Amino acid sequence: MPEVAGGPRVLLRRLRELMAEALEPQERLDRIVREIAQNMVAEVCSLYVLRADSVLELYATEGLNPGAVHQAQLRLGQGLVGTIAASARPLSLSDAQHHPAFTYLPETGEEIYHSFLGVPVLRAGRTLGVLVVQNRTQRHYREDEVEALETTAMVIAEMVATGDLARLARPGIELDLRRPVSFTGQPFNEGVGLGHVVLHEPRIVVTNLFNEDSEQELERLAEALGSLRLSIDDMLSRRDVAFEGEHRAVLEAYRMFANDRGWVRRLQEAVRNGLTAEAAVEKVQSDMRARMLHMTDPYLRERMSDFDDLANRLLRQLLGTGPEEMAAMLPKDAIVVARSMGAAELLDYPRHKLRGLVLEEGAVTSHIVIVARAIGLPTVGQVKGVVSMAENGDAVVVDGEEGRVHLRPQPDIEATYVEKVRFRARRQKLYREMRSKPSATRDGVAIDLLMNAGLAVDLPQLAQSGAAGIGLFRTELQFMVALTFPRAEAQEQLYREVIDAADGKPVTFRTIDIGGDKVLPYFKGASAEENPALGWRAMRLALDRPGLLRTQIRALLRAAGGRELRLMLPMVTELSEIRQAREIIEREVRHLSRFAHHLPTSLKLGAMIEVPALMWQLPELMRAVDFVSVGSNDLFQFVMATDRGNPQLSDRFDPLSVPFLRLLRQIAEAGRAAHTPVTLCGELAGRPISAMALIGIGYRAISMAPTAIGPVKAMLRELPLAELEAAMTDALDNNGASHDIRGMLRGFAREHDIPL
């Protein structure tokens, strides 16, 4: 077996020198393959680059016919090179021509070479090409030679990623890294966004690839690993993390990877071969991701994203890169792309620069989506694989109506969406012109269209949308975006701003609704729960921690001085909870009166119907409160035993089904019988077709995201209510529980020219 001429460290040193020289891309590639061939005592070294049309094109060679460069081509999966590209795995053969995948390309003159070693050129687990060495004699390539070639392939991957090789492509030919990709996910918030990708946890770009001192780099790596492990242990030791079942599982996976000896050994080997610590992390991350992509075990494939996140954390430890540096480089038309993120994290971005949001995870009722909807951000979720395929700065289109994401879109697709944006702008203009017109059906029945809000940034939309008031102000959002519990003064200031902005229109404040999926990182009072959605949350938590509720009530009473105050209690299960809350409110009223504070002119107390138990207490409930509001998101979750955050169930049951609409009708009828106002605030209210169903079963006030008011009002003004009520009654009472209500409503809209 021939001896390695210089070893991987010598090769990397020569590559570093070549990268530093002012060379044209083709000359640089030609000299790189020459150096590799010389270092590995190979007669042939060739580089194939993957194009956007799934063809591997020969970009450089030492030993084969030079006339074949940019002429020899293999399809993805064709021949040994195509097999390596498709599998993202190295292939080492002592007699290549007898391998079943061998394909002979006569233009290359490679028939005299028997030994073959090929490795994929990988970046972030994506195959960008294949690097090959060949020998005439039948030889077995050693593990250290495979490792050296893989390390070299990583250097070439960075050349591809920086765009250097794109200059060598023939006109009309794109490299795979720039290939247009379209994804289908779930539409979480309507609208169309055109802009450029901002990865929420950006892939770190490693520019310093070669080390000068391996021992020093090993020390840097060890120090960063130590800091990473400590940070994970610290997060796991916090009591609030125990409350977050899924988050704890992710952190446990992080800890497992961070202490995995095999992973650490591969990192150390890459450093000893001449890479910097961060380049070693990039290489090992890409290798592992490529291997995990081909695993059939779904659990292991899911852990792939955990590993990616951990490697990125380690890179940030090594490079000292924080979110502040990333925010400074934000484009003016940012489309945020993330696996998942919290509501507070989205609000950290400058709102005026945001054009859309793409999530690999999430659900239509998760709080990041609620916030995105509140600020009018087109949002698509459940877009699997988009993070690994996207690069910072890529052009992207987000279609929040169809649930489509077009990454690096082709010109015709982009032009189509530009026209769609113009059409939406014209439609929004019509909605704005409609703001001052009565919110009533074609036959003159008035319907209150209210808006949901939760932060100061929502307030300008009260006037812009033409809403009749704020039907649901989620006070917990102020708590969710803060680092500590907001002080009473901060709460009072926000509530006063809201009432001032309403300018006489009604505002319904929901008292603090935390727990379940609304986790406050700084709240230490919770213990682990197997099913937080059914656990210690909302009204239950507030009554057990009355200090929280008293502080909030006092802030609300002071903010509403001289005006009406409407308070709504979340997740009420028993009427005794309303009595307890009323006692706390009356105590705070007495306290403020004692010190001559300016009190509200009237105080109305309401309850949310979210727990099915209230269905058997409706008459008593209607007498116990001044108004009720149906929280359709949670109520549907509990009635259908469906976790609203579970993407596997997100489309399984339809809220516009006979059983659920019968239940909603029963609530509306109970309110009408007791002369108690009933509002519905939830996902159902925000789409014209479901709003039409609600109005048809008796609801006369619905609350929704401000951006939904225009489309719902346009539907409402064309609606013949008497005919709809008759159709809904017939559908719910006479056609069986399996009747297609959604199809019936669409047909009704077509028949009466109602815009949906």
Q: List CB contacts of 525: < 8 A, sequence separation 6 or more.
A: 541, 545
Tell me whether strands 627-630 and 126-135 are parallel, antiparallel or unpaired: unpaired
So what's the pLDDT on residue 293? 58
97 has pLDDT over 70: yes
pTM of the model: 0.62
377: closest CA among 353, 360, 405?
Answer: 353
pLDDT level of residue 237 (50, 70, 90 thresholds): low
Q: What is the mean pLDDT of residues 473-479?
A: 87
For residue 620, what are its two tokens?
């008593």
Beta bridge partners of 246: none
CATH 3.30.450.40 fits 7-178, yes or no: yes
Determine the residue type at 339: R
Q: Vertex 639, ends 636 and 640: CA angle to 5°?
A: 80
239 has pLDDT over 50: no
So what's the pLDDT on residue 249? 54
CA distance 134 to 145: 12
Domains 7-178 and 181-204+325-424 share a fold: no
For residue 326, what are its two tokens?
């990333």
- Answer for the pair 695, 447: CB distance below 8 angstroms, yes or no: yes
Edge-to-edge strands, sheet with 334-338: 181-184, 404-407, 395-399, 192-199, 334-338, 354-359, 379-381, 186-189
Backbone φ and ψ for 141, nearest 5 degrees, come out as: -80, 135
- Answer for the pair 150, 11: CB distance below 8 angstroms, yes or no: no
So what's the pLDDT on residue 241? 41
Beta bridge partners of 535: none
Highest mean pLDDT pick, 252-261, 429-438, 488-497: 488-497
CATH code: domain 214-320 is: 1.10.274.10
| Segment 47-81, tens digit of pLDDT | 999 988 889 999 999 999 999 999 999 998 899 99
282: closest CA among 153, 91, 439?
Answer: 153
181-204+325-424: which CATH number, 3.50.30.10, 3.10.110.10, 1.10.540.10, 3.40.50.2300? Answer: 3.50.30.10
**b/e sequence 406-416, b meaning 16+ C-beta within 10 Å:** bbbbeeeebee
Report CA 57 to chain centroid distance, whole Å. Answer: 35
So what's the pLDDT on residue 124? 67
Q: What is the percentage of the chain residues whose pLDDT exceeds 90?
A: 41
CATH class given for the domain over 434-751: alpha beta
Q: For the chain, what are the domain ranges?
A: 7-178, 181-204+325-424, 214-320, 434-751
Q: Within 166-276, where are the H helices?
A: 214-237, 239-243, 245-258, 261-272
Q: What distances in angstroms separate CA 693 from CA 106, 483, 744, one per listed residue?
A: 69, 41, 10
More confident residue, 671 or 345: 671
Within 10 A of 107 (CB to CB), how many other CB atoms are there?
A: 13
So what's the pLDDT on residue 671? 97
Q: Of 250-254, 345-349, 405-409, give the lowest mean pLDDT range.
A: 250-254
- Answer for the pair 451, 467: CB distance below 8 angstroms, yes or no: yes
Highest mean pLDDT pick, 462-476, 664-678, 679-693: 664-678
More confident residue, 215 or 569: 569
Q: Of 381-390, 507-516, 565-574, give the lowest mean pLDDT range.
A: 381-390
CA distance 740 to 312: 48
For residue 470, what are its two tokens?
């704020």
Q: What distances in angstroms separate CA 641 from CA 101, 413, 534, 645, one per listed residue?
A: 52, 40, 11, 12
364 has pLDDT over 70: no
Q: What is the percentage of the chain residues whose pLDDT exceeds 70?
A: 86
- Answer for the pair 699, 678: CB distance below 8 angstroms, yes or no: yes
pLDDT level of residue 384 (50, 70, 90 thresholds): confident
CA distance 661 to 669: 12
| Segment 480-498, tens digit of pLDDT | 767 678 889 999 999 999 9
Counting every residue, how long is the chain?
756
